Amino acid sequence: MEFNGNTELYGFIAHPAHHSLSPLMHNLSFQKRKINACYLAFDIQPPNFATIAASFCAWGLSGANVSMPYKQQFIPYLDELTPRAQRINAVNTIKNTQGRLTGDSTDGAGLFADLKARGFKTHGKTAMILGAGGAGRAIIAAAADYNLQKVFVCKRPNQTFAQTAAWLETLKQQTETDFELLNYQDSEKIATCLQESELLVNATNVGMDQQHLPLAATILSSLSQKQFVYDIIYQPLETPLLKLAAAHGCQCSNGIGMLLWQGALAFEFWTGQTMPVTSVKQALLAEIRRRTI
């Protein structure tokens, strides 16, 4: 694609940023949709963040994706937040509309969009989500938008446990979904709740080393073919959790779909057009396999 004085600029803002697959996704999408735009990765050192964030519009950026450690730090520089971004007090997508900046969070919605594309109906279902960090919170908050009846959240009993419990209580009051926080140390309770769940989501990084499970094997031994197991990790493409779940006959998915659909939702938020998801997914898989060689 030829760039000129009318080319719109989009970016990925994080630290570090070199690993991001977003430039591949969005530049391919701009090309396929014949949009005169380019997407670059910006590795912003923490001491420079405030200056960069305050001059977002001065750069001429039409939009951006935001990742760690800036998903919450960007909020004071925005004019408004979408309801789902307000719910988790974090953004991963920013849109510049004539100098007015709107922040959105497409991570959680990306997972549920992928589930929908795979034919999994969430209405009235019960889910268990492992982890309540950045990705976990986005998925938890999005659950209500997709009409889940009950969501169990498993979390370590650390200094943010009480804060997470209070946040879940607020979500429960604001939505029609019932949220319940479980202590990772209460293995008996977790085992019981897992048997009640049609969907299990690993929103932690446990399994990235290709060795560990996010729950004890004794708890996971109850998995059955009536359950869908989703691991948001995509490197490796198959984690120990997914291997075990497949052996139990579960329908399974790694995090490629969530990565794809959070990007697709951001792309549509910026451009009003759909992302060519089939082409982008093929490119993503090829690049991930190349990186693992």
pLDDT value of residue 97: 98
Burial class (CB in 10 A: 0-12, 13-18, 19+), 168: buried
Residues 78 and 156 occupy one common structural domain: no
Contact present, 106 and 262 (Cβ < 8 Å):
yes
Report how far apart the first and last C-alpha atoms of the chain are (Å, whole number): 29
The domain tally of the chain equals 2
Q: Given the structure tokens 């604001």, which residue do they identify?
A: 174
CA distance 230 to 248: 14
Which two three-digit tokens encode residue 125?
Answer: 């279902």
DSSP code, position 214: S
The response to whether 5 counts as a known ligand-binding position is no
Question: Is 27 contained in some domain?
Answer: yes
**Among the listed ranges 61-65, 141-145, 241-245, 254-258, which one has the minimum average pLDDT value?**
141-145
CA distance 280 to 293: 20
**Chain segment 95-113, per-residue pLDDT in tens:** 999 999 999 999 999 999 9
The response to whether 50 counts as a known ligand-binding position is no
Question: Is 25 contained in some domain?
Answer: yes
Question: Is 278 contained in some domain?
Answer: yes
198 closest CA partner among 220, 221, 227, 219: 227
30 closest CA partner among 54, 53, 7: 7
**Chain segment 263-276, per-residue pLDDT in tens:** 999 999 999 999 99
User: Active-site residues: which are they?
Assistant: 71
Q: What's the length of the chain?
A: 293
Report pTM.
0.94
Q: 129 — alpha (psi -120 to 50), left (phi > 0) or beta? A: beta
CA distance 27 to 238: 27
**Chain segment 52-96, per-residue pLDDT in tens:** 999 999 989 999 999 999 999 999 999 999 999 999 999 999 999
Residues 144 and 90 occupy one common structural domain: no
The response to whether 20 counts as a known ligand-binding position is yes
Question: Is 161 contained in some domain?
Answer: yes
pLDDT value of residue 206: 94
Return the half-sphere exposure (C-beta side, CA atoms, 13 A cut-off) of residue 74.
32
Q: How many CB atoms lie within 10 A of CB 176?
A: 9
Q: Which domain holds residue 287?
A: 8-105+257-291
Residues 174 and 281 occupy one common structural domain: no
CATH number, domain at 55?
A: 3.40.50.10860
**Chain segment 194-248, per-residue pLDDT in tens:** 999 999 999 999 999 999 999 999 999 999 999 999 999 999 999 999 999 999 9
Residues 139 and 114 occupy one common structural domain: yes
The response to whether 96 counts as a known ligand-binding position is no
What is the average pLDDT score of the chain? 96
